[in-house]
Structure 1
Amino acid sequence: MANTSPARPTALPDSVPAPDPAAGGAGRGHAPRTLLLAQLSNSVGDGVFYVTSALYFTGVAGLSAAQVGAGLAVAWAVGSAAGVPLGTLADRRGPRGTSVFLALVTAAAVASFLLIGSFPAFLAAATLYASAQSGLAAARQALLAGLVAPEARTAVLARLQAASNAGLAVGAALGGLALHAGTRDAYLAVFALDAGGFLLCALLLGRLPAPAPARASATGAADSATAVLRDRPYVVLALLNALMLLRMPVLSLALPLWIVQRTAAPGWTVSALFVLNTVAVTLFQVRAARPVTDLESAAGAVRGAGAVMFAACAVFAASALPGLGAGAAVAVLVLGSVLLVVAEMRHSAGSWQLGLGLAPADRVGQYQGFYGAGVPVARTLGPLVVTTLLIGGGPAGWLLLGAVFALTGVATGPAARRAARTRTRPDGPPAVSSAAARP
């Protein structure tokens, strides 16, 4: 039967070329495995850091909770802005060398945490850490784009995400041992482990083939360094993605506070839901990403994620219904958490395909630096927005937040198609599929 629906792009534009076979072809087949091992090595350290950092900075380094909160907020704000110039550096100097350099800088920043004894020193180390982390994420995306064929990138990114969650779980367990010991030496040991993870990451990334740096833009260095900021369709898409990333503090901050303050569920439910999320992503992220292969499937994944997030928020709101006992509250929270992790996996897959596939070939690092800024923005502003909305607004706040996710998911499709129409192939015409060109 003929397709009578309105013409629209159905595939991602060829804005990012296939990898150059001449650049280190011998090791290219093993690139996904090496990238996975690198991701695993530094995510173990990240898990340690997330679990122990707050108590280390306050209990060992002698900082106040207010100083730690303010310092990390400033650090991640600077880090989010650093992603674009550091991504541009990856485009110009090559993504492998830049990735190795930024992994080493991150290791040095983590090691410097062992020596801090004042707020200015903490602020400097935290800012270096956040900036290097943001730049490393952008450079590694550019490295992946240079080594992995376009049709395989979303699947590889799904495996990296699964490895990341597994590493975070291992790191969190090691961090838990340090918390149980509660000694200065235990904290120093796990921070040293974190730094070692990034050193191993740098070593692994250095073994990969080196894609050639992007060709210089005809518009000039100064102009190309800020090109992403003038690409309005892509900017809109990145902003929508940042709104969807408000799901991050829902699990890490809003739910723990909600469970303790508003429901009859026991406190251990917080840990159980975190484990549920981590295990689900580790086991099912690759499967969830398989249907996402082009622009339409990616936009559909994000749209579906928004709808499922609305359902999850409605279920979480219901967990505080009057008369709901502890067992029933736990059951409702588990249902909401299942919906939350389904939405997370679908959004991740769609987001990767859109953000990487719509980046111009000569500015993958810069565009990924800007697109990836949604993560530090969500870490910086998300806790304030989510806690104010949910803890202050109660069930109505959950429904409002869910509506934001649903509307954002719906808006992503038109924004992505508009961005695709503005992409250009090397010879100039708009990058639309042959199906879209038919009347």
Structure 2
Amino acid sequence: MSSAGPAPVRQGLWHRLTASMSDPVLRALVTATAVSRIGRGVFLTVTVLFFTQILGLGAGEAAVVLAVSSAFGVVASLVGGWLADRWSARRIAFVCETLGGLLLASYALAGDFVSALVLASLSGFFDSVGHTARSAIIARGLAPERRVHARAVLRTVTNLSIALGSGIAAIALALGTAPAYRSVILLAGALCAIGALPLLRIPSSADAPKRSAAPLRTTTGSIDTVVQRERSDWRRRSPWRDPRYLLLTVLSAVFGMQFGVAELGVPLWITQETNAPTIIVSVLLILNTALVVLFQVRVSRGTHDIRVAGRVTMIAGWLMAAACFIYALAAGLPTWAAIAVLIAAMVAHTFAEILSQAGAWGLSFELADPVRAGAYQGVFGMGFSLGALASPMVVNATAISFGFAGWAMLAAIFLAAAAGILWIARRAAAAAAASGHTAA
């Protein structure tokens, strides 16, 4: 008879999520995310159609509104990081996300291009400041081995909530009337504002440590040398003086363009170059969401180790390159074959997304200076926002313009970015090991 103990019980998704709620920081973040992202899902679903069908904006005007809002988000990432290093990140996140929700609700009162542009810019700005403050909260309020897990849990909750919000938004899409659109937008804004309330329950340990507010003077009138050293050390720890982290930010932003492939490239490729029905776009989006919800937490285990984070990012690079080539193969195939190929491509694409996000989270936390956690997360978030801005142009200039050759260009871009991130991770791990041996 075997003396081995009972086999370990495999934990389901719901059990893994609820087990994380014992931590007060993560519990507050999960609660806030679950509520606010329902509102964001409503808004994302109806925004473009509200602009074009209700406000009467042209496609170009709607694109300008969204682009300017994204640009404000880039600036807001830096502002949020700067603020989170100087004041309470909890209160900054609460105030900014509340304001963002109220401004989002104000969309219901918009009547023309100018009002939509102003509201979108302000709402995007405050939402991005709040998001960066949340990243600083995770960096300071959770143990290093728990940070990536927390981001994975929050991303899973985000996807579930956005899916629920999209279902609520379908009411407005089905009715198609201005009152219906404005009503769901008011609901979306209210949910985003209400979702900020749990952030006030986050412990103060998530805030930045106190700094000297003003220079102290000795009896001779000279500035105290302790304060001088503190301020000099503060400037030295800036992410803008960290070439390794800046390179990581750039390469992560490049790889982050894979979201643009899913949001822009794939729908255009399907409708213009394949025989697949248009509805397959929705099927692929649902498949992507389901896989992220099922596997993001599980796949993210261990990526707080920078060596593991580098390896999974390289795997993501190979998967993304494969997805690009598989997408390209769908052109000209019979309908059934095109559908099968596109589904296979989306599976590879989604796992590339899951792995790359896990690797990026691990490296962005572990390679950052903990004293300037807010500034580091702000710079990393800024890079991601810039990648999101550039992705439509890059995808259009490659895959959509040149077909198979363009998809090959994209594959090479993603592989090169992943290889660069792997190189950074290996160098960082070697440096850490050498430092440990020296200290020993």
Please state which band the TM-score falls in when normalised by the shorter chain.
0.7 to 0.9
CA 1:86–1:264: 2 relative to 1, 3 Å = same
One-letter code aligned to 1:409: A
Structure 2: 5+ residue runs without aligned partners?
1-20, 213-228
Q: How does 1:360-379 map to 2 (within 5 A)?
A: 360-379=369-388
Q: Is the 8 A contact 1:94 1:214 kept in 2?
A: no
Q: How does 1:288-327 map to 2 (within 5 A)?
A: 288-320=299-331, 322=332, 324-327=333-336
Q: Which deviates more, 180-189 or 211-220?
A: 211-220
| Residue 386 (structure 1) aligns with | 395
One-letter code aligned to 1:344: E
Q: Residues 242-290 of structure 1, C-alpha deviation per residue, up to 9 Å, x if partnerless?
A: 0010000111111111011111111111000000000110111111111
Are 2:275 and 1:280 aligned?
no
Q: Secondary structure at the match of 2:31?
A: helix
Q: Residues 292-331 of structure 1, C-alpha deviation per residue, up to 9 Å, x if partnerless?
A: 23110001111111111001111111111x4x21111100
| Residue 13 (structure 1) aligns with | none
CA 1:392–1:226: 2 relative to 1, 3 Å = farther
| Residue 277 (structure 2) aligns with | 266
| Residue 413 (structure 1) aligns with | 422
Count of paired positions: 403
Q: What percent identity do the matched residue pairs reach?
A: 35
Shift of 1:161: 0.7
| Residue 6 (structure 1) aligns with | none
| Residue 155 (structure 2) aligns with | 161
Are 2:253 and 1:242 aligned?
yes
Give the distance between the partners of 1:205 and 1:128, measured in 2 at CA.
21
CA 1:178–1:43: 2 relative to 1, 3 Å = same
Are 2:120 and 1:120 aligned?
no
Are 2:64 and 1:53 aligned?
no
1:207 to 201, 209, 212: 201
| Residue 17 (structure 2) aligns with | none
Q: Is the 8 A contact 1:311 1:339 kept in 2?
A: yes
Q: Secondary structure at the match of 2:81?
A: helix
| Residue 197 (structure 1) aligns with | 191
Give the distance between the partners of 1:207 and 1:354, measured in 2 at CA.
28
Give the distance between the partners of 2:235 and 2:436, measured in 1 at CA.
32
Q: Is the 8 A contact 1:248 1:378 kept in 2?
A: no
Q: Is the 8 A contact 1:41 1:201 kept in 2?
A: yes
Q: Which deviates more, 62-71 or 137-146?
A: 62-71
One-letter code aligned to 2:374: G
For normalisation by structure 2, the TM-score amounts to 0.86
2:105 to 108, 111, 119: 111
Q: Is the 8 A contact 1:134 1:373 kept in 2?
A: no
| Residue 216 (structure 1) aligns with | 211
| Residue 407 (structure 2) aligns with | 398
Where relative contact order (Cα < 8 A, 6+ residues apart) is larger, the structure is 1
1:227 to 231, 238, 246: 238
Q: Residues 16-68 of structure 1, C-alpha deviation per residue, up to 9 Å, x if partnerless?
A: xxxxxxxxxxx983322221121121221121111100111222223222112
Q: Residues 206-250 of structure 1, C-alpha deviation per residue, up to 9 Å, x if partnerless?
A: 122122423438463997499222322111110000001000011
Shift of 1:352: 0.4
Give the distance between the partners of 2:258 and 2:248, measured in 1 at CA.
17
Shift of 1:416: 3.5
Structure 1: 5+ residue runs without aligned partners?
1-26, 422-429
CA 1:28–1:284: 2 relative to 1, 3 Å = closer
CA 1:294–1:100: 2 relative to 1, 3 Å = same
| Residue 11 (structure 2) aligns with | none
Shift of 1:190: 1.5
Give the distance between the partners of 1:195 and 1:378, measured in 2 at CA.
27
1:143 to 137, 142, 151: 137
Q: Is the 8 A contact 2:139 2:370 kept in 1?
A: no
Q: Is the 8 A contact 1:57 1:68 kept in 2?
A: yes
Shift of 1:356: 1.6
Give the distance between the partners of 1:431 and 1:28, measured in 2 at CA.
32
Give the distance between the partners of 1:29 and 1:82, measured in 2 at CA.
28
One-letter code aligned to 1:326: T
| Residue 362 (structure 2) aligns with | 353
One-letter code aligned to 1:277: N
| Residue 427 (structure 1) aligns with | none
Q: Secondary structure at the match of 1:37?
A: helix
Q: Residues 189-219 of structure 1, C-alpha deviation per residue, up to 9 Å, x if partnerless?
A: 2211221222222101112212242343846
Give the distance between the partners of 1:258 and 1:221, measured in 2 at CA.
52
Give the distance between the partners of 2:305 and 2:371, measured in 1 at CA.
21
Give the distance between the partners of 2:259 and 2:437, measured in 1 at CA.
35
One-letter code aligned to 1:243: V
Give the distance between the partners of 1:419 and 1:84, measured in 2 at CA.
25
Q: Is the 8 A contact 2:256 2:388 kept in 1?
A: no
Q: What is the Cα-based RMSD across aligned positions, in Å?
A: 2.3
One-letter code aligned to 1:72: L
Are 2:235 and 1:254 aligned?
no
Q: Secondary structure at the match of 2:275?
A: coil
Give the distance between the partners of 2:130 and 2:236, measured in 1 at CA.
17
Q: Residues 111-149 of structure 1, C-alpha deviation per residue, up to 9 Å, x if partnerless?
A: 221222232322221111221122112100111222211
Give the distance between the partners of 2:236 and 2:129, measured in 1 at CA.
14
| Residue 15 (structure 1) aligns with | none
One-letter code aligned to 1:81: V
